[in-house]
Amino acid sequence: MIPGPTTPAQRVMLAMSRPLINHRGPEFKLLLEEIQTGLKYVFQTENPIVILTSSGTGGMEFAVSNVINKSDTVIVPTMGFFCDRFAEIVEACGGRVSRIQIEWGS
C-alpha cells in the first residue's frame, strides 16, 4: 500500500532512476550523518536523531515500547483505524488504555 495516488514530480522520478547506494557503505554513512545533522538543526536539539525504516505500525511500536512502562495508563482518542491500532499496541506492550471516543470529523 502506498500513500496516494500521487503523481511524482519529474525530478523525483529522475532521482529514483539513479543507482542505489549501499546502505552499509561509506557514501550512505555520510548521507545519513548529513541528514541527522540537518534534522538536529530543524528540531533545535543536540539529542541523537533516530530515523526509522519501518511501517507506521513499526513507528508506533517503537514509540510505545520506549515511552510506556508496563501498567501505565495511556489516554487514546479513538476516531479511526490508526487510533485503534495505537491502542492495541499499547495493550500489547503491557499498558492500560483509557479510550476517549471522538466522532470522526468533529
The pLDDT value given to residue 4? 67
Considering the entire predicted model, what is its pTM? 0.65
Count, residues in the chain: 106
pLDDT at 106: 73
Contact 31, 40 (CB under 8 A): no
Work out the mean pLDDT of the chain and round it to a whole number.
92
The reported pLDDT for the residue numbered 73 is 97
pLDDT of residue 91: 96
Say whether pLDDT at 1 is over 60: no
pLDDT of residue 90: 97
| In 1-106, alpha helices (H) | 10-16, 26-42, 56-67, 81-92
Find out whether 85 and 60 touch, Cβ atoms under 8 Å.
yes
